[in-house]
Structures are given as C-alpha cells and as structure tokens.
Amino acid sequence: DANDVAKDEL
Amino acid sequence: MNIFRFAGDMTHLISILVLLLKIYATKSCSGISLKTQELYALVFLTRYLDLFTDFISVYNTVMKLVFIASSLAIVWCMRMHGLVKRSYDKELDTFRHYLLVAGCFALAVLVNEKFTFQEIFWAFSIYLEAVAILPQLVLLQRSGNVDNLTGQYIFFLGAYRALYLLNWIYRYFTEVRFSRWIACVSGIVQTGLYADFFYYYFLSWKNNAKLQLPA
C-alpha cells in the first residue's frame, strides 16, 4: 500500500 | 517531483547556505542556537537511515548527504572551532532540548506509519523537526535584535516547510493514493510556530527596520 512506497521526500 | 517540493528543497538549501555564510563570513555564531542545530543534525541522521538502502534518485541522495554533512559541520563548528565557539551565546541558549527529543521519541513510538525501527525513527525525525526551531526562537527573543543573516536564515528555514505543505496538497490531488498525514500535520505545526516570526520579519521588511521580536 501507499506506506510501503519508499519515502521519496527529503 | 513537483515545483512546490523543489522550491521547498531549494529554500531549505538556501537557509543552510545563509547560515554557513554567516558563520564563515562573520566568524561568529552569535544569535544562533546550538541546540537547534543539534536537533536538526539529529533530525537528518534519523530521517535518512534509508540513505544506503533505498535509492530514490541522485538528487535525493545528494541532498540527503548535503543536509547531513552541513548540519554536522555547523554543530562541529559551534562546539570546536575556537573563534566561532567564543561567540556562542551559551548563557542565552538554555532551552532544555533533550525534553523535545524525549517527547518526540515517545510520540513516535505511539504514532507511526508502521511499527518498525526505520518507520519509528522517521516519525521521530518528523516530530522533532516540527519543534527543533523552538530553542532558536527563544534565543532570538532573548537576544533582542538579530543580524540580517540570522533573520534570513530563520525565514528561509520556516518558508521551506510552508512550501512542503503546498507540495502535500498538490500530491493529494494529483496522486491516487498519496497520504502522508504524519508529515502533513507535523508540517502544519512546524510552519505555525514561525507565524509570529514571519509577522515581525514582514514588519521589519515593510518598515525597513531592524528585526526585533518583543521580549
């Protein structure tokens, strides 16, 4: 789900 | 990547460059809170634990390295560099920032996206960044008028997260399943803490006067 997406923000 | 987030990252980078310029050019860190700088170093170190495990882009990796290196360099400079260290307002910078660290860590253990080591530290870094400016704002209030570079540093540091708020609104409407409510709520609190500073900063700019926060 969305949470699994790696954190792409700084 | 959208224009709001890119502008936010650049504004953040500018704030760090302005601070480095102030310390390097004036060989002084008067008016700068070492505690806020230490909190920011902790924010970057705990947020970028995925530096070597998740490769997002060259830009992402480079910026993370710049933020970590610059925040550590500033803390080192203020603690070790003889000339700079002497100008540190040690007796004014007395905020008990370890309480912020403890509180944010406790909150991160309770409220996080997933109960894993990396996610708890990520949430901790988000909460800590929201309050990291407090020692600096307290020092600002105590030290009366501040030099321009310090005022600009704080202005850009506050503005970057405001731009990130626009980025989250933009992503919410353009990406199907984008939800980063921990960062968003924390970002609102963080930007809110700058509200009165922004007000007095605007007044000083409008009246072309020195920036003064009421004691």
Q: Convert B31-77 into a string of H (helix), E (strand) and C (coil).
A: CCCHHHHHHHHHHHHHHCHHHCCCCCCHHHHHHHHHHHHHHHHHHHH
Out of B54, B60, B179, name the one closest to residue A10 (CB).
B60
Find all residues with CB under 8 Å of B107, minimum gap 6, and list them: B123, B124, B127
CA distance B90 to chain A (A): 31
More confident residue, B146 or B152: B152
Overall average pLDDT of the B111-121 stretch? 96
**Could you tell me if residue B23 is inside a domain?**
yes
Q: How far apart are CA B123 and CA B110, in angstroms?
A: 10
Overall average pLDDT of the B2-14 stretch? 98
Q: pLDDT-derived band of residue B133, with 50, 70 and 90 as boundaries?
A: very high
**Could you tell me if residue B207 is inside a domain?**
no
DSSP 8-state assignment for residue B180 = -
CA distance A2 to chain B (A): 6
Count of Cβ atoms closer than 10 Å to residue B37 Cβ = 26
**Could you tell me if residue B114 is inside a domain?**
yes
**Could you tell me if residue B98 is inside a domain?**
yes
CA distance B84 to chain A (A): 29
**Could you tell me if residue B215 is inside a domain?**
no
Q: How far apart are CA B201 and CA B27, in angstroms?
A: 24
Out of A1, A3, A8, name the one closest to residue B60 (CB).
A8
Count of Cβ atoms closer than 10 Å to residue B130 Cβ = 23
CA angle, B129 then B103 then B75, to 5° = 45
A6 interaction partners in chain B (CB closer than 8 Å): 50, 54, 56
**Could you tell me if residue B209 is inside a domain?**
no
**Could you tell me if residue B42 is inside a domain?**
yes
Out of A3, A6, A9, name the one closest to residue B114 (CB).
A3
Could you identify the residue written with the tokens 């990520």?
B122
Q: What is the pLDDT of residues B22-75, one digit of tens each?
A: 999 999 999 999 999 999 999 999 999 999 999 999 999 999 999 999 999 999
**Could you tell me if residue B38 is inside a domain?**
yes
Whole-Å CA distances, B127 to B45, B46, B150: 14, 11, 24
Q: How far apart are CA B136 and CA B49, in angstroms?
A: 26
Q: Do B183 and A9 touch (CB under 8 A)?
A: yes
What backbone phi and psi angles, to 5 degrees, belong to B113?
A: -75, -30
**Residue range of the domain that includes B19:** 3-202
CA distance A3 to chain B (A): 7
Which residues, numbered 1 to 10 in chain A, qualify as contacts with chain B under a Cβ-Cβ cut-off of 8 Å? Answer: 1-3, 6-10
Find all residues with CB under 8 Å of B11, minimum gap 6, and list them: B156, B159, B160, B163
The rounded percent of chain B whose pLDDT value lies above 70 is 100
Q: Do A3 and B178 touch (CB under 8 A)?
A: no
DSSP letter for each residue of B87-152: TS-TTT----HHHHHHHHHHHHHHS-SSSSHHHHHHHHHHHHHHHTTHHHHHHHHHT-S--HHHHH
A9 interaction partners in chain B (CB closer than 8 Å): 5, 164, 167, 180, 183
Question: Searching chain B, which residue's CA lies closest to the CA of residue A9?
Answer: B60
Reported ipTM: 0.87
Number of domains making up chain B: 1
